[in-house]
A and B are shown apart, each in its own frame.
Chain A
Amino acid sequence: MQLSSLRHFKVSQWQAVVLFAAILIGLNLLLAWTGTGYTLTLAKLILINVFLAVSLTAANGFTGLFSLGHPAFMTLGAYSAVMFTYPVGRRGFAMPALPEFLAKVELPLWAAALVAAGFAGVVAFLVGLVVLRLKTHYLAVASLGLIIVVQNLALNFDGLTRGGRGLTGIPREASLPLISVILFLVVVMFWKIKHASLGRAMLAVRENEMAARSYGIRAYRLKLLGFVLGAGVAGIAGALVPHVIAVMTPGSFGLILAFNLVAIIVVGGQGSIIGAILVALGLGTATEFLRPLEEATGLYGAIQVVVALMLIVMLVLRPKGLFGLEEPMVRIKD
C-alpha cells in the first residue's frame, strides 16, 4: 500500500489552523451536550495523550534521538503542579515537608501547568547536557534509568509526595476546554517549528548528523532544544493528568507508558506530527473499546501484547513507520 498516494489536500496555513480549531471546538460542544462523566474523562485523557505524543515527536523524532524518558518528566511535572493546586488546608497533612512559603501558594491549574513545564524543562536541560552526548542505545538505557530514578526519588521524598501512598483528592480542575487549548497550542507550536528553518535543521540532524554538522548546524544544541521542549510539554501533560483522575502516585507514569509512546511515534512515523496525532487517537480509542474484552476474559495485558506485536510487525515491514517524515494527506502552502 502506497501511503504517499493518498490524496494530498492543499490548504493554506490559516485554513488548516481554523479547521483544527473547529474540530476541537466541535468536540467540546459535542461532549458538553452528550458527554457522560466517563466519555468526558476518556476524551480528556486521550487528548492529553495526543499532545504528549506530539511532544515526543518533537523531542525524539525531529532530531532522531531515542529517549524513553518522557514519563520521568511527566512525573516531575505532576508533582510540581500538584504542589501548587492542592487545597492549602490539607497541604500540611499530605505534604509535611513542603516549605512554608510554598505551602501557602495556591495556583490555578494553567499557572501550575506552566510551573510544571518550567521545572521539567530545567531538569531536562541539566539531564540533557549530560546524556545527549551518548549514542543511541546508551541514551535509551540512560533515559530508562531516568524513569526509575525519578520514581525512586518520588517514592523516597515522601515528605513532599506522600511516597507510595500517593496523593489523592487532587482537585479535578482539568477541563476539556483547557486541555483542548493546550493541545491546540502545542500542535501549532511544533508544526511551526517543524516547517521553519529550525525544524528543517533538526530533521537534517536526524537524517545525517555528520553531514548536518558540516553545514554548520549545531546538532547538539538542536537536540538539546528538542529534548527540553518535549520535556516541558511532557511536564504539562503530567501536570494535567492528576487533575483529571484526582490521583497521583510515583508509579503513575512508568515504563509501560514509555513503551506506548514509543510505539505511537514509531508507527506514526518518527517525524510526522499528524501521524503521531492519528496513531495516538487510534490507540487511545481502540484501547478503550477493547478493555471490556480484557476484563471479560481475564486476560489482562492482552491489549498491550497486541500493541507490541503490531509494533514488531510494523517495524519488520515498514521500518520508517506508517508516515515516515512526511505529513500525510495535508500539505500546507507556505
Chain B
Amino acid sequence: MQQMLNALTLGSLYALVAIGFSLIFGVIRLVNFAHGDLMMIGAFSTLGLLQVAGPLWALIPVLVLGIGFLTGSLIEKVVFRSVRNAPMITGFVVTLSLSVVIQNLGQMFLGAQPRSLRLPEFFSSRVEFAGLSMPAIDIVIPVTTIVLAIAVTRFVYRSRVGAAMRAVSENIVAAQLMGISINRVVMVAFGLGSALACLAGFFWGGKFGQIDPIMGLAPGLKAFIATIIGGVGSIPGAILGGYILGFAEVMFVGFLPPEYASFRDTFVFGTLIVILLIRPQGIFGIDEEERA
C-alpha cells in the first residue's frame, strides 16, 4: 500500500514536469532539454526561501510558482526566441547547452554536494487516511497536482488565451492572421510550464529531502518520456503519462527481486523505445507532421 502512495507521489511529480514539456512542445515544437533544470531551480529557491520565510511558509509554493513563471519567460525571451524558426535540432542543441550551463553554474555557485531540504512540520505530520498513516506531504502532492492539472486543462481548453495557444499549436500562420501575438502565447506557455516544474522541485525536495544542482537531469528525462507516452503536445496526455511512468517505475522496483532494482532506468528507457516504435505519438498525441 505504501508502494501505491509512492507511485502516486512520483507520478504526480512527473506529471507536473510533463505538463510543462507538453505545453512548450505544443506551442513551439521545441523539446526543452533544460526543463528539468527548472525543478532544480525551484528546489533551491525553496531552500533559500525557507531561510527567510519563517511563519509565512505557506507563501513559499506560491512564490516558487512565480519564480518559475518569471524564469521560464526570461529564458524563452533571451535564449530561445532567436532559434524559434531554426530547424528543430538547433533548438534542441540550444536547450541542451542551456541545461549544461545551468547545471554547471549550479555546481559552481551552490556546490556539487547534495544539500538537505526540510519543509515545515506540517508536511511531515502524520495523517490518517483509509486505515493508513502517512506524512501529509504524500497527500498534498497528489492533491495539488490534480488541482493544478485540472486548472491548466481548463485554461488551455476553455479560455481565450488557451484557445490562442491551441491555435498556434495547430497552425502558426493562421493564428497570426487572427491577430494572435505569437510572442505572448509562447511566453505564457513557457511561463506556465516552468512554474509547474519549479513547484515540482519544491515538492521533490520536500519529499526526498535532498537536492543538488544536477537533480533535474534524470527526472527531466523521465518526464519527457512520460510526455511521449501520453502524447507530446497533449496536456491530459502529459498528466496521464506522468502517472503511468510513476507507477511503472515504482512497481518495477517493488515487485522484482532486489538484484534488478538498479536496472530501473534501463527499464524506463526500454519502455520508451518500445512506445516510440509502436505508437510514437503516444496515447493522445498530435501528429506533428500536421502542423501548418
Direct contact of A and B (CB under 8 A): yes
Does B228 belong to the interface (CB within 8 Å)? yes
CB within 8 Å of B: which A116-163 residues = 130-131, 133-138, 140-142, 144-146, 148-149, 152-153, 155-156
Chain A interface, DSSP helix/strand/loop, else mixed:
helix
Contact B225 A141 (CB under 8 A): yes
Does A102 belong to the interface (CB within 8 Å)? no
Q: Interface 1/0s, chain B 221-254, versus A by CB < 8 A?
A: 1001100100000000000000000000000000
Give the contacting residue for B262; candidates A140, A152, A316; CB below 8 A.
A152
Contact B265 A312 (CB under 8 A): no
Give the contacting residue for A311; candidates B93, B224, B276, B288; CB below 8 A.
B93
**B residues within 8 A CB of A301?**
104-105, 107-108
Given contacts A141-B224, A302-B104, contact A131 B273 (CB under 8 A): yes
Contact B262 A302 (CB under 8 A): no
Known: A134-B276, A137-B92. 10 other contacts (CB 8 A): A131-B276, A141-B31, A145-B272, A146-B269, A149-B269, A152-B265, A262-B93, A301-B105, A302-B108, A316-B94
Does B96 belong to the interface (CB within 8 Å)? yes
Interface residues of chain B, those whose CB is within 8 Å of chain A, are: 31, 79, 82-83, 86-90, 92-94, 96-98, 100-101, 104-105, 107-108, 112, 217, 221, 224-225, 228, 262-263, 265-266, 269-270, 272-273, 276-277, 280, 288
**A residues within 8 A CB of B217?**
255
Closest 4 CB pairs of A and B: A145-B269, A301-B104, A308-B97, A308-B100
A-B contact pairs, 29 of them (CB 8 A): A130-B277, A133-B277, A136-B92, A138-B280, A140-B31, A141-B221, A141-B224, A141-B272, A142-B276, A145-B273, A148-B221, A148-B265, A152-B262, A153-B266, A256-B100, A300-B108, A301-B104, A302-B104, A304-B100, A305-B101, A305-B108, A308-B97, A308-B101, A311-B93, A315-B90, A315-B93, A316-B83, A316-B94, A319-B83
**B residues within 8 A CB of A305?**
100-101, 104-105, 108
Roughly how many angstroms separate A201 CA and B131 CA in the complex, as a whole number?
A: 67
Roughly how many angstroms separate A309 CA and B100 CA in the complex, as a whole number?
A: 9
Does A66 belong to the interface (CB within 8 Å)? yes
**B residues within 8 A CB of A138?**
228, 276, 280
Roughly how many angstroms separate A136 CA and B289 CA in the complex, as a whole number?
A: 13
Roughly how many angstroms separate A142 CA and B277 CA in the complex, as a whole number?
A: 11
Give the contacting residue for A66; candidates B92, B98, B265, B288; CB below 8 A.
B92
**A residues within 8 A CB of B94?**
311-312, 315-316
Contact B83 A315 (CB under 8 A): yes
Closest Cβ of chain B to A203, distance in Å, is 16
Does A110 belong to the interface (CB within 8 Å)? no
Roughly how many angstroms separate A153 CA and B266 CA in the complex, as a whole number?
A: 8
Does A6 belong to the interface (CB within 8 Å)? no
Which partner residue on chain B sits nearest A127 by CB separation? Answer: B273
Closest Cβ of chain A to B135, distance in Å, is 30
Contact B104 A262 (CB under 8 A): no
Contact A315 B86 (CB under 8 A): yes
Q: Interface 1/0s, chain A 295-317, versus B by CB < 8 A?
A: 00001111011011101100110
User: Taking each of B92, B96, B108, B225, which has the highest tally of chain A beta carbons within 10 Å of its own beta carbon?
Assistant: B96
Does A266 belong to the interface (CB within 8 Å)? yes
Does A259 belong to the interface (CB within 8 Å)? yes
**B residues within 8 A CB of A141?**
31, 221, 224-225, 228, 272
